Amino acid sequence: NAGVTQTPKFQVLKTGQSMTLQCAQDMNHEYMSWYRQDPGMGLRLIHYSVGAGITDQGEVPNGYNVSRSTTEDFPLRLLSAAPSQTSVYFCASSRDRPGNEQFFGPGTRLTVL
Amino acid sequence: AQSVAQPEDQVNVAEGNPLTVKCTYSVSGNPYLFWYVQYPNRGLQFLLKYITGDNLVKGSYGFEAEFNKSQTSFHLKKPSALVSDSALYFCAVRDETGGSYIPTFGRGTSLIVHP
């Protein structure tokens, strides 16, 4: 089992550019989530999914889109990057509800200039 | 509404001494409580959780946590700290009664274990 994988590990964007952060899990987990981690802020939930075809907003969804076409994949899209989106992004999955024990990916460090 | 507080940004302890990382929470109903650890440049790893049952929960790497309903606390403890325990620790809570899917994480506490 690879667990939760994320690509890329590092990314630098210019303001206004778009990109997709990839997340995949091979544990057949129904629930997947995207978080951002900022210094002194802990983790904040961006979007989550309770199964293929079902997504919902978290605490800080603005500027991000998600889709869930398969159980394995849960990409996060930045349509027009802003400096405020500079952060470390983590994808997580869980067998049960997203609020229960979660397995986290290694993270993507994004810098928006 | 649910919230969690980690009152200490940093905890320093000598190797071999007991350690405590504090967490308090607020929920309207029944809490599900979690501790995660994050090593540098890594994702979070699950340590332990409280859902119901015994107030003392044992987890990975010798860590344990005590659920105290009257004080709304869930402090993380270890009898004898190791230098390798140095990391960032996050407490999280979810209000199970409210049916929310969304957990709330604390801001994290940096644990530094000195040789």
Residue B75 confidence (pLDDT) above 70: yes
Q: What is the phi/psi pair of residue B79, to 5°? A: -65, -35
Residue A3 confidence (pLDDT) above 60: yes
Sign of the dihedral through C-alpha B69, B75, B76, B80: negative
What confidence tens digit (pLDDT) does each residue in B16-58 have?
999 999 999 999 888 999 999 999 888 899 999 998 888 999 9
- Picking from A10, A35, A9, A20, the residue whose alpha carbon sits closest to that of residue A104 is A35
Q: What does the pLDDT read at residue B100?
A: 67
B12 in Cβ contact with B21 (< 8 Å) = no
Q: Do B43 and A4 touch (CB under 8 A)?
A: yes
Q: A-chain residues within 8 Å CB-CB of B107?
A: 40-42
**pLDDT class of B78 with cuts at 50, 70, 90:** very high
Please indicate if any CB of chain B lies within 8 Å of the CB of A107: yes
Q: What does the pLDDT read at residue A4?
A: 95
Q: What does the pLDDT read at residue A76?
A: 98
Q: What does the pLDDT read at residue B103?
A: 84
Three-state secondary-structure class, residue A19 = strand
* Chain B contacts in chain A segment 9-68 (CB below 8 A): 31, 35, 40-45, 48, 50, 56, 58-59
Residue A113 confidence (pLDDT) above 60: yes
| Percentage with pLDDT > 70 across chain B | 97
What confidence tens digit (pLDDT) does each residue in A56-97 have?
999 899 999 999 999 999 999 999 999 999 999 999 999 876
